[in-house]
Amino acid sequence: MLPRPNRFALVAGRGEGETPLTAFDAALMAAGVANVNLVKVSSILPPGARPMEGLVLPPGALVPIAYGKLVAVQPGQRIAAAVAVGRGPEDEFGMILEHTAYGTAGEVEATIRRMVEESFAIRGGRPREVLVRAVDHVVEHCGCVFAGCVLWYD
């Protein structure tokens, strides 16, 4: 059995590259998660998980993360990504949601806040707190936006 993460960090980045993969890598660098192995997870924040500042991950680590990314190759196009954490009561789990779109950081942030509210409503509750990280980028050649919630350990 894997240990349950007790910390989380919201990260976001944007990048340009010659190819979609190198643009994605540049966005990961900007977000601070490029030198690890991302393990994509779904949407549940473990009960009692606390936010962490100054994310430092050991190179090569297997890092659980819920994330969204969008790559575009049309110069001048604006792309955006957001991640949100909705926290319920201290002893209950929370929700992690991610969203990408052609638009602005403000637009994806507004959408993701509504998504958090809906996810809690589906479960019969309301979040006590919503934390959001959003980013946008105007494509020059091949651009990428990335937003994620890293799950980690003390």
Instruction: Decide if 56 is inside a domain.
Output: no
Q: Is 42 a catalytic residue?
A: yes
Instruction: Decide if 37 is inside a domain.
Output: yes
Instruction: Decide if 68 is inside a domain.
Output: yes
Q: How confident is the model at residue 71 (pLDDT cuts 50, 70, 90)?
A: very high
Q: Rounded distance, CA 146 to CA 21, Å?
A: 12
Instruction: Decide if 141 is inside a domain.
Output: yes
CB 105 within 8 A of CB 82: yes
Instruction: Decide if 107 is inside a domain.
Output: yes
Q: Rounded distance, CA 101 to CA 107, Å?
A: 9
Largest Cα separation within the chain, whole Å, is 47
Q: Which of 35, 53, 92, 98 is catalytic?
A: 98
pLDDT recorded at residue 2: 80
What's the pLDDT tens digit per position in 89-129?
A: 888 999 999 999 999 999 999 999 999 999 999 999 999 99
pTM of the model: 0.95
Q: Rounded distance, CA 152 to CA 62, Å?
A: 10
Query: Which two structure tokens, joined as six digits, stand for 92?
Result: 């209950």
List Cβ neighbours of 2 (8 Å cut-off, separation of 6 or more): none
Residue 1 pLDDT > 80: no
Instruction: Decide if 69 is inside a domain.
Output: yes
Q: Which of 6, 16, 43, 107 is catalytic?
A: 43
CB 33 within 8 A of CB 83: no
pLDDT recorded at residue 16: 98
Q: Is 119 a catalytic residue?
A: no
Instruction: Decide if 104 is inside a domain.
Output: yes
pLDDT recorded at residue 4: 93
Q: Which of 18, 42, 53, 90 is catalytic?
A: 42
Domain boundaries, position 30: 7-48+62-152
Q: Which of 37, 92, 118, 129 is catalytic?
A: 37
Instruction: Decide if 30 is inside a domain.
Output: yes
Q: What's the CATH number where 92 sits?
A: 3.50.20.10
How many structural domains compose the chain? 1
